[in-house]
């Protein structure tokens, strides 16, 4: 790559690091004023924002994107109003920074406090939807982190217009450096690669987008990454599942919003309950347009009952369909359900439907996933449904954050120790 591109990214990260050090001790009131000002600026800037977005939409249409793809890039007055309101909601949340997480004294008199602090500089690498630019900037700012945003080329102009508004809102607030939020001024892949090696300046990378982007970031970055690969989520209807509840939960998990990561992709049914339970669940799903891909045992039951279904291929058992497709298998026992999920799910969200508390507790203890539900839809793995008031993503990692990531998950901690001259003997 040309040295100047690497230098551009490095200079940007140096400015971000300086901004992060200042931002770490900015007051909550100051951050919230900047956020409310941003919301007002968005409300007052529909014309230039829509104009910038129009340039991106024209290029997308000329580039042959489908109408559904173009729509994901589109800003509208209603979407901008919604965006401004979401910024106001974040401003109204409690500041996560400064909370004393633990506090204790040692026999030698040292007082130790573990205090929540910002992570530092966070790089967010994302694709497509323009609201991500504002969402990520706002969540990073509220949690005291400097943000480096690197959006996709499809919305280059929209991102630039939104980032300018963010910087305008920050610049008017004394004490908050404008460089607290910066946009990488190029979508060149080489610039991204250079950014992902700046582990002395950037403390965390959050990729948001398809699995290809996330894998590229995870494989390239020497900076710690918080990521979410796939949501291959299971619903397991146990022997003692209440049929009406199993139907309601399975239908909701699959159908309510099939394109998101916490939608169910697979149904397991206990073989001893399958004769009565599976036809009911299958009819409810098929009547809502769901295509079932069944193992031979499930297929035999559905064939007997005359319910539409297809045969599953081996890869269907670990596929994130993100559509109205559901893999279906029978299992001989609770333990087989657990082993199947631990082998084939993506560790994101899995649910058991059962009237048996012992089975539920065993399932929750043994299933190795971020969120394990008993008698509730997988769709509840979500920062807003958890009551966090905001969400930057859902982590399938084990370190730092696992499950929904709100403002607290955008923070680190440090230890403050007060002494009276103590030394080690």
Give contact residues for its own copies (rule: CB under 8 A).
21, 24-25, 104, 106, 110, 112, 117, 119-120, 199, 203-204, 218-219, 222, 224-226, 242, 244-245, 248-249, 251-253, 256, 342, 360, 364-366, 368-377, 379-381, 385-387, 397-400, 402-403, 412-424
The least CB distance from residue 115 to its own copies, in Å, is 9
Tell me how far, at minimum, the Cβ of 39 lies from its own copies, in Å.
Answer: 26
Rounded to an integer, what distance in angstroms lies between the CA atom of residue 309 and that of residue 282?
9
Structure tokens at 134: 């504002």
Q: What is the 3-state secondary structure (H, E, C) of 230-270?
A: CCCEEEEECCCCCHHHHHHHHHHHHHCCCCCCCCEEEEEEE
Q: How far apart are CA 179 and CA 15, in angstroms?
A: 6
Determine the distance from the C-alpha atom of residue 40 to the mean position of all C-alpha atoms in its chain, rounded to a whole number. Answer: 26
Residue with Cβ nearer its own copies (68 or 244): 244
- The secondary structure element, H or E, covering residue 105 is strand 100-105
* Assigned token pair, 343: 């082998």
> Given the complex with its own copies, which of 81 and 260 has the nearer CB atom?
260
Nearest-approach distance from CB 332 to its own copies, in angstroms: 19
Q: Report the nearest approach of its own copies to the CB of residue 367 (Å).
A: 9
How many degrees, rounded to 5, is the angle at CA 391 between CA 389 and CA 396? Answer: 135
Tokens of 361: 């507790």
- Between vectors from CA 288 to CA 240 and to CA 370, what angle results, nearest 5°? 55
Which ranges of 77-155 does DSSP label H, i.e. alpha helix? 77-92, 131-142
CB of 406 to its own copies, least distance (A): 12
Residues 280, 282, 286, 292: what is their CA dihedral angle, to the nearest 10 degrees? 180
What does the buried/exposed string (b/e) look like for 212-230 if buried means 16 or more CB atoms within 10 Å of the residue's CB? ebbebbeebbebebbbbbb
Using the minimum distance from each CB to its own copies, give the nearer residue, 20 or 181.
Answer: 20
Of 82 and 398, the one with the shorter C-beta distance to its own copies is: 398
Q: Smallest distance, Å, CB 104 to its own copies?
A: 7
**CB-wise, 121 or 299, nearer to its own copies?**
121
User: 140 vs 372, which CB is nearer to its own copies?
Assistant: 372
Are 184 and 192 spatial neighbours (Cβ–Cβ below 8 Å)? Answer: yes
- φ, ψ of residue 84 to 5 degrees: the values are -60, -40
Confirm if 141 and 180 have CB atoms less than 8 A apart. yes
Q: Of 17 and 167, which has the nearer Cβ to its own copies?
A: 17
Residue 372's nearest CA partner among 341, 330, 410, 416 is 341
Instruction: Tell the smallest beta-carbon distance from residue 405 to its own copies (Å).
Output: 12
User: How many C-beta atoms lie closer than 10 Å to residue 154's C-beta?
Assistant: 23
Q: Which is nearer to its own copies, 17 or 157 (CB)?
A: 17
Quote the least distance from Cβ 324 to its own copies, whole Å.
17
The residues near 54 (Cβ < 8 Å, ≥ 6 apart) are none
Angle (deg, nearest 10), helices 131-142 and 28-43: 160
Closer to its own copies by Cβ: residue 41 or 204: 204
Going by their DSSP bridges, the two strands 100-105 and 111-118 should be labelled as antiparallel
Nearer to its own copies, 149 or 338 (CB): 338
Shortest Å distance, C-beta 410 to its own copies:
11
d(CA 261, CA 82): 22
Among residues 39 and 93, whose Cβ is nearest to its own copies? 93
Residue 198 Cβ vs its own copies, minimum distance, rounded to whole Å: 13
Q: How far is the CB of 251 from its own copies (least distance, A)?
A: 8
Contact criterion met (CB below 8 Å) for 273 and 332: no
């Amino acid at each position: 790559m040309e040295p100047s591109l690497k230098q551009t990214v490095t200079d940007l990260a140096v400015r971000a690091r300086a901004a992060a050090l200042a931002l770490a001790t900015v007051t909550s009131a100051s951050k919230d004023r900047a956020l409310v000002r941003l919301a007002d600026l968005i409300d007052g800037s529909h014309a230039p924002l829509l104009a910038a977005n129009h340039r991106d939409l024209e290029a997308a249409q000329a580039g042959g994107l489908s109408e559904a793809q173009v729509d994901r890039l589109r800003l509208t007055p209603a979407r901008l109003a919604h965006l401004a309101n979401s910024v106001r909601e974040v401003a109204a949340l409690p500041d996560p920074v400064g909370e004393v997480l633990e506090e204790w004294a040692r026999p030698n008199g040292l007082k130790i406090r573990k205090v929540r602090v910002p992570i530092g500089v966070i790089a967010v690498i994302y694709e497509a939807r323009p609201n991500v630019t504002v969402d990520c900037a706002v969540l990073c700012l509220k949690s005291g982190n400097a943000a480096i945003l690197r959006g996709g080329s499809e919305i280059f102009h929209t991102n630039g217009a939104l980032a300018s508004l963010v910087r305008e809102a920050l610049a008017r607030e004394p004490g908050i450096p404008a460089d607290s939020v910066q946009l990488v001024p190029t979508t060149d892949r080489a610039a991204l690669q250079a950014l992902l090696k700046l582990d002395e300046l950037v403390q965390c990378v959050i990729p948001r987008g398809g699995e290809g982007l996330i894998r590229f970031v995870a494989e390239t970055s020497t900076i710690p990454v918080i990521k979410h690969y796939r949501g291959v989520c299971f619903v397991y209807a146990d022997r003692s599942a209440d049929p009406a509840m199993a139907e309601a939960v399975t239908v909701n998990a699959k159908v309510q919003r099939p394109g998101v990561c916490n939608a169910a992709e697979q149904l397991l049914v206990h073989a001893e309950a399958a004769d009565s339970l599976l036809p009911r669940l299958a009819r409810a799903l098929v009547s809502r347009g769901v295509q079932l891909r069944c193992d031979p045992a499930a297929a035999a039951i559905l064939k007997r009952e005359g319910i539409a279904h297809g045969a599953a291929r081996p890869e269907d058992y670990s596929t994130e369909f993100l559509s109205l497709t559901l893999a279906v298998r029978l299992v001989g026992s609770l333990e087989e359900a657990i082993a199947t999920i631990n082998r084939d799910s993506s560790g994101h969200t899995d649910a058991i439907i059962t009237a048996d508390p012992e089975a539920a507790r065993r399932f929750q203890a043994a299933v190795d996933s971020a969120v394990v539900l008993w008698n509730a839809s997988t769709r509840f793995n979500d920062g807003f449904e958890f009551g966090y008031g905001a969400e930057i993503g859902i982590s399938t990692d084990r370190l730092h954050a696992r499950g929904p990531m709100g403002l607290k998950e955008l923070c680190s901690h440090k230890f403050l120790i007060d002494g009276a001259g103590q030394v080690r003997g």
